[in-house]
Amino acid sequence: MLLTKSLIHKLSALSPQIQASIRISSSSGGPLFFAAICDRPAGYLNTRLTVVAAGLSKWLDIYSGVLMVRVLLSWFPNIPWDRQPLSAIRDLCDPYLNLFRNIIPSVFDTLDVSPLLAFAVLGTLGSILNNSR
């Protein structure tokens, strides 16, 4: 707690904007580190749960980007999927995509439209997490 207070004291000396955004929770006896520094208006809740929701939302954004790379690379048939970093991308994305490949079959046995549903589910989860903050 002493370390956190000294860190906030050093941060508050840097800029008046940071100084205005630091809130110290008097009920817990010290600041909630990640919830203490915020850029929101005073009316919003900034609890541990909202910090977790923000982190999960960022993680879903990153995963959507990796998933987009996987889907775009699947259009090229000569890609060596057994080499790094492509095998890591495949290992991260294929279990999630396989959930939707079992639900939606390929169109004309060549066109896989299951990533559309996969992106829709990720987008819905992301919007739920963004609205819960």
Q: Quick one: pLDDT at residue 132?
A: 72
User: In this model, does residue 112 exceed pLDDT 90?
Assistant: no
Q: One-letter amino acid identity for 133?
A: R
User: In this model, does residue 121 exceed pLDDT 90?
Assistant: yes
What global pTM score does this model have? 0.61
Domain ranges (residues) in the chain: 46-132
CA 79 to CA 95: how far, in whole Å?
19
Question: Any idea which residue has 């495949």 for tokens?
Answer: 90
Q: Quick one: pLDDT at residue 103?
A: 85
Question: Any idea which residue has 């060596």 for tokens?
Answer: 80
**Residue percentage of the chain with pLDDT more than 70:** 65
